[in-house]
Amino acid sequence: MTIRARTPLFCQEALVKEVEKVTGDMRFLDPNGRTVPLRVFAQALPVPIFSADRQKIQDGAGDTIEYREDGPEEAVFQCPWCTVKIDSGEVPEINGNQEVKFGICFGIFNDDPQNQGHKELLNLIFRVYERFAVNPVLDKQYTCTGKFQWGLAEEDTHPYFFGALATSFTFLGFWREVEHG
């Protein structure tokens, strides 16, 4: 039986779970002064909601980012977070392997006056890099190409810090069906 489950979306879902796993023991400060784990989202941050509007959200509606009415209104400031974004893909030939490029973006909050939040970002970036450098296989069906590019935000946005890691995965494409008879 042919498995047709190898798609960019399924690869993204597997990568979200893997980033959650490899960063699961790490804790970060949030803007409210609490120490919390990294939240990982597929493709984009959820639309933030006001605390007062929370009752309008039905159970099971998915992840949300909640903020107080007196706090920052943009989801990007509701740190710590990670987004696993599908950037682009390529199928070089019919029935060839697909290659899908991903951007793994991080946002953290660190209000220490030393202004060294970049250290936490580098720890996140290299935790993910190390995972795939040591074992490039994801979910038994996607293979990291080994190409990595990373960067930190150039602007000084203290106490918010942002960085990203770009990489790609290859996996089997569709196979040509042969009619018998």
So what's the pLDDT on residue 77? Answer: 85
Provide the pLDDT for residue 94: 84
Task: Write out pLDDT tens, residues 7-33.
Answer: 999 999 999 999 999 999 999 999 999
User: Using CA atoms, how far apart are residues 85 and 108, in angstroms rounded to an integer?
Assistant: 17
Mean pLDDT of 137-166: 96
C-alpha closest to that of 107 among 59, 53, 39, 14:
39
Pick 61 or 145 by higher pLDDT. 145
Q: What is the pLDDT of residue 6?
A: 83
> Using CB atoms within 10 A of its CB, is residue 73 exposed (0-12), middle (13-18) or buried (19+)?
exposed
Q: Write down the pLDDT at residue 76.
A: 82
Model confidence over 90-116: pLDDT tens digits? 998 888 899 999 999 999 999 999 999
| Residue recorded with tokens 């490029």 | 101
pTM: 0.83
Q: CA-CA-CA-CA torsion for 57, 41, 36, 70, nearest 10 degrees?
A: -50
Q: Domains in the chain, please, with CATH? A: 8-50+61-171 (3.30.70.1700)
| Residue 50 pLDDT | 56
Residue 67's pLDDT is 47
The pLDDT assigned to 139 comes to 95
Q: pLDDT tens for residues 34-86?
A: 999 999 999 999 887 655 455 444 445 555 555 444 445 577 888 999 999 99
